Structure 1
Amino acid sequence: MGTTLHYQVHGPSDAASTVLLSSGLGGSAGFWQPQLCALIAAGHRVVVYDQRGTGRSPADLPAPYAVADMARDVIEVMDATRTTRCHFAGHALGGLVGLQLALDEPSRIAQLVLINAWSKPNPHSARCFDARLALLGAIGARAYVEAQPIFLYPAAWAAAHAEHVQDEVDHAFAHFPGEANMRARIAALRAFDVDARLGDINVPVLVSAAKDDVLVPWTCSQRMGDALPNATLKLMGQGGHAHCVTEADAFNSTLLDFLSRPSA
């Protein structure tokens, strides 16, 4: 079965388990580069994809657009890669997609990893998105992507990796999905609220957050850790919103330990 989405499959084709990785607002499969080698070395088959309307999966997004639409795209990728069941890891928006999948298609999810995600809106993140959308509307895409590292990375890490950060910004600008798509994606994540349904998610869940995340309060992860029936909460003191990138070794160790546990 084919798919209109761009995806890549890494690692052994005969692996006992598949890990499917879903990135945040940027939507790019390339976000997971710091995890690929560790997962493959541990024997996992890994699927990454560009989300609809981003990167190598160009599309005009429908209105209204919702996280449930993004979850259906994951099922499309799973079917195209002959993945009956997967360990799903999502960063921020990707974590929301994972929560939706665990509610809509629980038999397809063996374990769930939520990285700086949330189960309901909060006023601080809303303020951040308001500011980003104001930049996009008043100045344009270049200003929007130049501001992105402020929300992703701790200041000291961004300063120490200035060339890498600038390369990311330039790449994001060159592949910007367009203002309409970006607004539709942000509207979808801002409308997402499954907080009252967390108790219905019974798969094992790793909830990972960094306390210095400036975009999403770590207390959102604490909330999910308390409400999910089968959750493990891992809080890191530093690393920012993208702590799976800035503290990749520590994050990968936690991830592999979690994935090695038996799932129901």
Structure 2
Amino acid sequence: MERFVDVEPGVRLWVEDIEPTGSHPGEPLLLVMGANASGLVWPDPLVAQLAEHHRVIRYDHRDTGRSTAFEDDPYGITDLAEDAIAVLDALDVPRAHVVGMSMGGYLVQLMLLDHPDRIATATLFCTGPLPFADPAPTPPLPGPDPALLRLWAEMDDPRDVEGEIAWRLEHWRMLNGSGTLFDPAEFRALEERVIAHAGTHDPVVAHARMATDGMERGAELAAVTVPTLVIEAPEDPAFPPPNSGVLARSLGQGRLVRIPGMGHAINRTVISPLAAAILTQTTRAAAAPA
């Protein structure tokens, strides 16, 4: 079921609420996507595997897909974290398993700090720890690959539809890395669907410009008591190792697993191991003694 929810005055988000297909579903599961990406970037086959065990909720961030778009950037990353909680409120979900990718991983960390009672378990991947206020207790973590940074500098260049799709395919090729097969047809189909869903091929760049005030809370992660899984993607060019390992060690209830060959893209090769890791986390929590 698709619907729109008002998360605050003037901000409406597109939400898809997928009923579970299994006979004994667990608590709902909320998917929180990365920067500049609509909820449709979560692949349908992954959503289907998760829906065998959970009611699955995915949504478009502000300035993506069918959600409210802004002329300027009147919000920050902490507002996006609160949007995720507002989606749960709108759907009358008191608590959910939450999965965050890339920037979505940062949002889930903020949710863990500010709304731990709303999260049954968390799964984070293709992301790093929230920044620490100076002085940071660890050496600086590696940032994105320079080639990826050069491509990001072209993100809002004007392009026609075919030019935009070509740029996005090159972006996915870089994000995918060389550890698993990159199939251009797979990601072309994804982007054609994303463009049709949004009704425009204009590049989405708002999240690259938004305020990041309130992120320097890495030191607080040690107090997190919600069971949290961190999945390391060893070929990730945006958050390369050891970002995931540092994140897992920073969390009070963090554990780390690795999906060999995975980069910063959910291609069909990694869908099944990714779903298995997420479901292992959610079912571990359900089986744990009270």
TM-score by length of structure 1 reads 0.85
Q: What is the identity, as a one-letter code, of the residue corresponding to 1:148?
A: H
Deviates more, 1:89-98 or 1:25-34: 25-34
Does structure 2 conserve the Cα–Cα contact (< 8 Å) formed by 1:53 and 1:61?
no
Alpha-carbon separation, structure 2, partners of 1:144 and 1:99: 30
Is 1:34 aligned to residue 45 of structure 2?
Answer: yes
Partner of 1:167: 189
Q: RMSD value over aligned CA atoms?
A: 3.0
Partner of 1:211: 234
Q: How does 1:37-56 map to 2 (within 5 A)?
A: 37-42=48-53, 44-56=54-66
Alpha-carbon separation, structure 2, partners of 1:187 and 1:246: 32
Deviation at 1:137, TM superposition (A): 4.6
Partner of 1:186: 208
Is 1:9 aligned to residue 17 of structure 2?
Answer: yes
Partner of 1:259: 282
1:28-50 deviation line (CA, Å, top 9, x unaligned): 222222322222212x1111111
Does structure 2 conserve the Cα–Cα contact (< 8 Å) formed by 1:21 and 1:47?
yes
Deviates more, 1:165-174 or 1:191-200: 165-174
Deviation at 1:205, TM superposition (A): 0.3
Deviation at 1:124, TM superposition (A): 2.5
1:170-210 deviation line (CA, Å, top 9, x unaligned): 4456646755x51x302448774432221132211000021
Return closer, same or farther for 1:258/1:212 CA change in 2, 3 Å cut-off.
same
Partner of 1:220: 243
Alpha-carbon separation, structure 1, partners of 2:242 and 2:32: 22
Q: Could you tell me the percent identity over the aligned residues?
A: 26
Deviation at 1:25, TM superposition (A): 2.2
Return closer, same or farther for 1:188/1:231 CA change in 2, 3 Å cut-off.
farther
Partner of 1:76: 86
Alpha-carbon separation, structure 1, partners of 2:71 and 2:267: 28
Alpha-carbon separation, structure 1, partners of 2:273 and 2:233: 12
Number of aligned positions between the proteins: 260
Q: Secondary structure at the match of 2:13?
A: coil
Does structure 2 conserve the Cα–Cα contact (< 8 Å) formed by 1:119 and 1:193?
no
Deviation at 1:220, TM superposition (A): 0.6
Deviates more, 1:44-53 or 1:130-139: 130-139
Deviates more, 1:212-221 or 1:191-200: 191-200
Q: Secondary structure at the match of 1:55?
A: coil
Q: 2:258 aligns with which of 214, 235, 245?
A: 235
Q: What is the identity, as a one-letter code, of the residue corresponding to 2:217?
A: V
Q: How does 1:196-207 map to 2 (within 5 A)?
A: 196-207=219-230
Q: What is the identity, as a one-letter code, of the residue corresponding to 1:163?
A: A
Alpha-carbon separation, structure 2, partners of 1:251 and 1:185: 25
1:210-243 deviation line (CA, Å, top 9, x unaligned): 1111221121110011111111101122121125
Deviation at 1:92, TM superposition (A): 0.7
Q: Secondary structure at the match of 2:128?
A: coil
Partner of 2:138: none
Alpha-carbon separation, structure 2, partners of 1:244 and 1:98: 22
Alpha-carbon separation, structure 1, partners of 2:110 and 2:208: 16
Structure 1 unmatched ranges of 5 or more: none
Deviation at 1:8, TM superposition (A): 1.2
Q: 1:246 aligns with which of 245, 254, 269?
A: 269
Return closer, same or farther for 1:17/1:226 CA change in 2, 3 Å cut-off.
same
Q: What is the identity, as a one-letter code, of the residue corresponding to 1:209?
A: E
TM-score by length of structure 2 reads 0.78
Does structure 2 conserve the Cα–Cα contact (< 8 Å) formed by 1:145 and 1:172?
no
Alpha-carbon separation, structure 2, partners of 1:135 and 1:249: 33
Bigger Cα Rg? 2
Deviates more, 1:194-203 or 1:215-224: 194-203
Does structure 2 conserve the Cα–Cα contact (< 8 Å) formed by 1:53 and 1:177?
no
